[in-house]
Amino acid sequence: MNPVFRVCFVCTGNICRSPMAESVFRAHIADAGLGGLVEIGSAGTDGWHEGDGADPRTVSVLTSAGYPIAHRARQFTASWFAGLDLVIALDSGHLRTLRRLAPGPDDAAKVRLLGSYQDADGPWRERDVPDPYYGGHDGFEECLAMIEAATDGLLEAVRAALAAEGHVPLHSPHHPQKKEDA
C-alpha cells in the first residue's frame, strides 16, 4: 500500500523535538493500523545539523519510553510543500517561519502547531514545545510528555482526513466509536 497522506514535523535543527514527534507519531500510526497509508518525516528550519543523528538525549528518552528511532537530520525546503498534507511546527516561531516559506496560501494552510491538537483541558497550557537542547535530561522528558499529549488529537485529525477521502472508516477496530457516537 502506498502512502496517501504525508506529515512532516519541523523544529529548529531536527535533532531534538521533531525527530521525537516523528517517532512517537509513527508508533501511534502503526498501532492504529494506518502505517501503510501515512508517511511521516521530520526536518529542521535550519541546516546546522544536516546529516547528524538525533541528540543522544532524544534517543535515550525515546528508547526508555519504548519508541524506536532511526534518524538523520535534514533541512525543510519550500519545495517539500507540494508533497505534504500536513507540516507540523513544534513552536510558534517555526509556525511563522514555515508559513513565510510556503509558496502560496494553500501551502501555508498545511502548517499547524502540534500543541493545537491537544485537548483544551490537556495537561499543558503552553502550546509551544520548548527546545530542550540547552537543558538537561528532564527537559527532553517534558518534551516527550507534551508531544504525547497532542498525538491522539493529531491521529484523529489524520484519520478524519483519510476517511474524508474514502481511505479508511472514521472509526476502526483500533479506535472504536465512543458510546455517545454509537
Known catalytic residue at 8:
no
Q: Write down the residue that cell numbers 534518524 correspond to.
A: 71
Provide the edge-to-edge strand list for the sheet that holds 86-89. Answer: 38-44, 5-11, 86-89, 111-113
Q: DSSP characters for 22-71?
A: HHHHHHHHHHTT-TTTEEEEEEESS-TTTT----HHHHHHHHHTT-----
User: Of residues 16, 17, 128, 143, which has the active-site annotation?
Assistant: 17
Amino acid present at 45: T
User: Of residues 46, 52, 85, 131, which has the active-site annotation?
Assistant: 131
Q: Write down the residue that cell numbers 538537561 correspond to.
A: 136
Which among 84, 89, 117, 128 is positioned nearest to 103, based on CA atoms?
84
Residue 102 CB-density burial (10 A; 0-12 exposed, 13-18 middle, 19+ buried): middle
User: Of residues 11, 91, 107, 143, which has the active-site annotation?
Assistant: 11
Known catalytic residue at 16:
no
| Per-residue CA distances from 117 to 1, 56, 71, 122, 156 (Å) | 27, 27, 24, 10, 9
Known catalytic residue at 17:
yes
Amino acid present at 59: V
The catalytic residues are: 11, 17, 131
